[in-house]
A and B are shown apart, each in its own frame.
Chain A
């Protein structure tokens, strides 16, 4: 069965128009910037780019230095202490649970940082004087990703505190054990 060329052409035209309408609507929904705000973005373009580049570099440094400490906390301290407790035939289940939660948050931190860095790099590569709305949208996405990274940091610090509390609890029980046995 052959489809006439005219019908094919009209079909393609309709599909193209529909796609254009959908993309135009998506673009309009993504940002509701006023003319003044667009003007502000254009005027501050150079200084904003400089700020973003500095933030990009300082966050990368933070990621490297903090990442090393967070990973070492797990590998060199938590896991090692859990193993020592287990090798001395003591119950380490609460410590293992917190370590497991900590490691899963650490994975989220790595993934969220990757997404954040990728979106911030994309925002930096947009010419804000020519495409202010796209630039604003890209920065908004990066900002949302950065909040997720910060949330992971807060969770990691909470897990660090929880682990310390669990160690204190373990110590209390462990030191009480011989006395109980002696009674």
Chain B
């Protein structure tokens, strides 16, 4: 019985010794695949995917993305509050407000049946 066990252990060792490199490579690939799947799930669920203009399909608009916020000046949260401080804030605020109101973002109905060349199914 003990002799059989010893033979079995020797066979296992031989198998491990023979395939140790393959097992290491396979294990590494499996672990990498798991990490990639988890990473992709987080990338999609966090909303980062929607902001990633490096994805295929966004080539035409990539160059138009605001590269930074250099022209967005931050207001200081410390300091005395006087007429000038409030006027400075209002100046910064109005500058950004104007930008927001230049275009009616996500307005219109580009996905309506009429826009897509299909009549309204509810129309008589």
* Residues of chain A contacted by B94 (CB below 8 angstroms): 164
Minimum Cβ distance to chain B for residue A84 (Å)? 5
Q: B61 contacts A58, CB within 8 Å?
A: yes
CA distance A77 to B76 in the complex (A): 8
Residues of chain A lying within 8 A (CB to CB) of residue B121:
31-34, 37
Contacts of B100 in A (CB 8 A): 66, 69-70, 73, 156-157, 160
The count of residues in chain B whose C-beta lies closer than 8 Å to any C-beta of chain A is: 51
Given contacts A80-B75, A153-B106, contact A64 B118 (CB under 8 A): no
B5 proximal to A (CB < 8 A): no
Given A81-B89, A143-B112, residue A44 in contact with residue B83 (CB < 8 A) = no
| The stretch of B7-15, B18-26, B45-53 that contacts the partner chain | B45-53
In the complex formed, the residue of B with least CB distance to A61 is B61
Partner of B116 from the list A51, A149, A160, A167 (CB cut-off 8 Å) is A51
Kindly state the separation between the CA atoms of A113 and B81 in the bound complex, as whole angstroms. 38
Closest A residue, CB atoms, query B119? A37
**Chain B positions 34-60 with a Cβ under 8 Å from a chain A Cβ:** 47, 50-51, 53, 57-58, 60
B1 proximal to A (CB < 8 A): no
**In the complex the two chains form, what is the Cα distance from A83 to B119 in whole Å?**
53
Q: Which residues of A contact B97 (CB under 8 A)?
A: 160-161, 164
Q: Quick check: B118 and A77 within 8 Å, CB to CB? A: no
Is there a chain A Cβ closer than 8 Å to B17's Cβ? no
Judging by beta carbons under 8 Å apart, are B105 and A174 in contact? no
| Contact of A84 with B111 at beta-carbon distance under 8 Å, contacts A31-B121, A114-B47 already known | no
From A44, A80, A153, contact of B105 by CB (8 A): A153
Contact for A64 among B53, B72, B92, CB less than 8 A: B53
On chain B, the residues within 8 Å of A48 by CB distance are 116-117
Asked whether any CB of chain B lies closer than 8 Å to the CB of A8, the reply is no
Q: How far is the CB of B19 from chain A (nearest CB, A)?
A: 42
**Quick one: closest B residue to A141, CB to CB?**
B111
Decide: A53 and B57 in contact? CB cutoff 8 A. Answer: yes
Find chain A residues with CB under 8 A from B53 CB. Answer: 60-61, 64
Contact (A88, B80) CB under 8 Å given A61-B64, A63-B51, A65-B65: yes
Q: Are B65 and A61 in contact, with the CB atoms below 8 A?
A: yes
Interchain nearest-CB distance for A55 vs B (Å): 5
Q: Are B51 and A64 in contact (CB under 8 A)?
A: yes
Q: Closest A-chain residue to B63, C-beta based?
A: A61
Bound together, the chains give a CA A142 to CA B115 distance in angstroms of 14
